[in-house]
Structure 1
Amino acid sequence: MLQSADALQTGPVLRAATPRVAAIDVVRGLAMVIMALDHTREFWSPTAVRPEDVAHASVALFLTRWVTHFCAPTFVFLAGVSVFLYQQKQASRGAVSRFLLTRGLWLVVLEIVVINFLLQWGYSGILLQVIWALGWGMVLLAGLIWLPRGLVGALALAFIAGQHLLPFTAPTTGAGVGWALLYNRPFLFPLTPKLPVLAAYTVSTWAAVLALGYAVGPWFQLPGPRRTRRLAAAGAGALLLFGALRATNWYGDPAPWSEQPRGLAYSALSFVNVTKYPPSLLFLCLTLGVALVLLATWGPTGRLGHWLSTYGRVPMFYYLLHFCLISGGAFVWTTLAFGRPFNLSFAPPGAGLPAGYHPSLWRTYAVWAVVVALLYWPCRWYQSYKQQHTHWWLAYL
């Protein structure tokens, strides 16, 4: 799920003086289009079987979920790259630090107040997801940018690689919850007796991915051939590391792969079924490895590249609008189909599913295609609006 650092590249100075790195827009746009598939599935076709359960899920269901794992790491990594590119055109590091602080806190508020409302049609609880983690990552990066960039990159890599040596915290006290929000598996805790909080994305590893993107930002200022070679080499190295560590089950992911009694195809699914919450070393080697290869090889050539770059240039606008369409469409559909609105993704505990509901991947893919198509023209309009105006609030949306 998914993500918005493109707004960091707004402002009169940057818009007038900085050439955009086209590959960033295209790959970010691809990640966001795929992200909408997962959210469509959750609202329009949830299943009793977990999609990642290779012992019970179908290949099609597994892959429909698995391919969306590439979205959040790509989104957060490119957010860090955009921070670096923004920083190069600012008069002082202090201005960048202040902007990261305010933008990060704004994203936290946006996650809790707006995105939760869109997801749940109200507030039966609070879900802390990728925008929450990205927001706090920006707050942390507001301080880290005062360090040498090489040190920031080294710290990020060290945490990503060494995170599995850290114990998970039992969030049973206030202090325990605080530490668990930094690094833990997803967990539930009561904010009030009637308002539970599900922390799906804890902060530290995602903040490290953001910092890593910032640290490699200079690569995107290199001449095209040098940038391509460096990104391709880093991507290939990450994928080779993934293959070597995953094959041995030695280190890098808390869930080892195994041969499956359902056959070779499901054994292969087990091999690539790496842990997202929190993102393991192997999860990030796989997803960021692919993202780096795509950044090295794909630009806005052809109709597909230009189409994707339209979404990639206005990521937060896309992110909010796609939830409006998916969630609002599900509200209308369930009202017509079942006689009342029913939130299939966030049904109250014990509510069950409405009579007559059956999951359908065909429905998921059809609605996904319609949503992505409908988003094109609003995103194109907003992209044009941002290019023609310099309002301060454009940097926050």
Structure 2
Amino acid sequence: MGTTTRIQSIDILRGLVMIIMAIDHTRDFFHITAMTADPLDPATTTTGLFFTRWITHFCAPVFVFLSGVSVFLAGQHKTPSQAGIFSIKRGIWLILAEIFILNFGLSFNPLYNFILLLVIWAIGWSMVLLGIFSRISRSLVLITGITLVFGHDLLNLLSLPKTGIEALLLKVFLTSSGTVIPINSNHLVLFSYAILPWTGIMFLGYSAGLWYRKDFPAAARRKYLLLSGLSLCALFVVLRISNAYGDPSLRKIYPTLIQNVFSFLNASKYPPSLQFFCMTIGPALLLLSALENISNKITKVISGYGSVPFFFYVVHFYVLHLLLVIVFFLSGHQINEIIQTPFFFRPPNFGFTLPVVYTIWLIVVASLYRPCLWFKRYKTNHDQWWLKYI
């Protein structure tokens, strides 16, 4: 029988970002303009649509950061070599899961003509690199994380190669905002998540894992979380106002107040800029500090999702896409409309208003609560080797 000691504040925060993340994926499948408009474009978006998309910006960086914390905690009772090898193996598993399991959930395309390499791909490679670097030195992990997160935007100031293998590697590892590479005439790969900026976030999460050791004073941990969170929030405001460093593109000025609010908050996620990191991880650290002393029925429900994040992540894509198939046919669409976009059963002109999207999101999240609790119990009570990878 397996036993695990979970940290409630981490499960609550992770559960919260998983629930919020599902909003964006529900929007991708069911919102009327998801295929035709940028919800973050200050010139064309609406307040409801902007914040529906913007609030989900917190999900990927917080999930990656907490993944780093979890890797540290999982390795406390292992030698550096054992912990490093496990991190490498788990990273490879996540890369394969992204390609074969999650891509099918996203597309329902058995031929895999269009492969999307998203956040699990970035997490997988980051775990591989973390497994290598942590075997050398924890200090090396911290220094590398700081360098990647705070320094990678320096590349925006340089003249970089535009063609050739150097340009391709730079895009895939550092600068990509969506690089499409053809494998052959029938298969394309989209690299949406540049690997190394996300690796930096995971490395910093791993380094922050030290604060969650059993012998680390709780008061000191809350203090460090609070100070770090406030510092990152302040740095975001300074960088955003100065408009000089920390994002691939300069902040634009628009004619209305609300458009300028949108512009101020619209830091780059692809790749995650320093400003994006400060904007998302800063508040997350403040929440981690506050959540240590909060326990009620709501946080218990939320932590149920956060205790099995990969399970929820995979299953919610399949549930959403199965619902999409049902709604597709109920809406009167025909078989010849199935393959109009890389996401089968999702024509460009298909979709509903935001209230309908939010209703579907609530139904899907609620329907997955008991399966998440079941899987949590199953993991706790069983020792199969594969459970360590999920």
TM exceeds 0.5? Answer: yes
Q: 1:330 to 1:219 in 2, by over 3 A?
A: same
SS at 2:113 equivalent: coil
1:167-246 equivalences in 2 (<5 Å): 172-174=163-165, 176-185=167-176, 186-221=178-213, 222-246=216-240
1:295-314 equivalences in 2 (<5 Å): 295-299=288-292, 301-314=295-308
1:370-385 equivalences in 2 (<5 Å): 370-385=363-378
State the one-letter code of the partner of 2:274. L
Query: Which residue is 2:103 aligned to?
Result: 116
For 2:232 and 2:166, the matched residues in 1 are separated by 35
Q: 1:211 to 1:95 in 2, by over 3 A?
A: same
Are 2:42 and 1:54 equivalent residues in the alignment? yes
State the one-letter code of the partner of 1:273. N
1:158-169 equivalences in 2 (<5 Å): 158-166=147-155
* Offset of residue 178 of structure 1: 3.4
SS at 1:51 equivalent: coil
Instruction: Render the CA deviation track for 1:112-161: whole Å, top value 9, x for unaligned.
Output: 11111111111231101000010011111111102332332122111211
Instruction: Render the CA deviation track for 1:12-62: whole Å, top value 9, x for unaligned.
Output: 4xx35xx32211000000010000000000001141220010000001100
Over the matched positions of the two proteins, sequence identity in percent amounts to: 38
- Choose which of 266, 269, 279 in structure 2 pairs with 1:273: 266
- Gap regions ≥5 residues in structure 1: 1-10
SS at 1:69 equivalent: helix
For 1:238 and 1:82, the matched residues in 2 are separated by 22
SS at 1:244 equivalent: helix
Question: Is the contact made by 1:46 and 1:345 (CA closer than 8 Å) also made in structure 2?
Answer: no
- Choose which of 97, 113, 126 in structure 1 pairs with 2:84: 97
For 1:234 and 1:190, the matched residues in 2 are separated by 42
Are 2:114 and 1:125 equivalent residues in the alignment? yes
Query: Which residue is 1:41 aligned to?
Result: 27
- Gap regions ≥5 residues in structure 2: none
* Offset of residue 343 of structure 1: 6.4
For 2:376 and 2:161, the matched residues in 1 are separated by 45
For 1:46 and 1:171, the matched residues in 2 are separated by 35
For 1:113 and 1:197, the matched residues in 2 are separated by 13
State the one-letter code of the partner of 2:124. G
For 2:136 and 2:159, the matched residues in 1 are separated by 28
Question: Is the contact made by 1:42 and 1:344 (CA closer than 8 Å) also made in structure 2?
Answer: no
Instruction: Render the CA deviation track for 1:297-323: whole Å, top value 9, x for unaligned.
Output: 014511111011001100111011100
* Offset of residue 197 of structure 1: 0.9
Question: Is the contact made by 2:174 and 2:194 (CA closer than 8 Å) also made in structure 1?
Answer: yes
* Offset of residue 392 of structure 1: 0.8
For 2:16 and 2:31, the matched residues in 1 are separated by 22
SS at 1:146 equivalent: helix
Q: 1:319 to 1:168 in 2, by over 3 A?
A: farther
For 1:139 and 1:353, the matched residues in 2 are separated by 37
Are 2:308 and 1:327 equivalent residues in the alignment? no
Query: Which residue is 1:6 aligned to?
Result: none
Question: Is the contact made by 2:341 and 2:348 (CA closer than 8 Å) also made in structure 1?
Answer: no
Considering only aligned residues, what root-mean-square deviation do their CA atoms show, in Å? Answer: 2.1
- TM-score, normalising length from structure 2? 0.92
Q: Which moved more, 1:300-309 or 1:29-38?
A: 300-309
Are 2:55 and 1:67 equivalent residues in the alignment? yes
Are 2:84 and 1:84 equivalent residues in the alignment? no
State the one-letter code of the partner of 1:112. I
1:252-271 equivalences in 2 (<5 Å): 252-261=246-255, 263-271=256-264
Question: Is the contact made by 1:170 and 1:180 (CA closer than 8 Å) also made in structure 2?
Answer: no
For 1:203 and 1:256, the matched residues in 2 are separated by 23
Query: Which residue is 1:8 aligned to?
Result: none
* Offset of residue 250 of structure 1: 1.6
Question: Is the contact made by 1:43 and 1:344 (CA closer than 8 Å) also made in structure 2?
Answer: no
Q: Which moved more, 1:278-287 or 1:116-125?
A: 116-125
For 1:337 and 1:151, the matched residues in 2 are separated by 55
Query: Which residue is 1:26 aligned to?
Result: 12
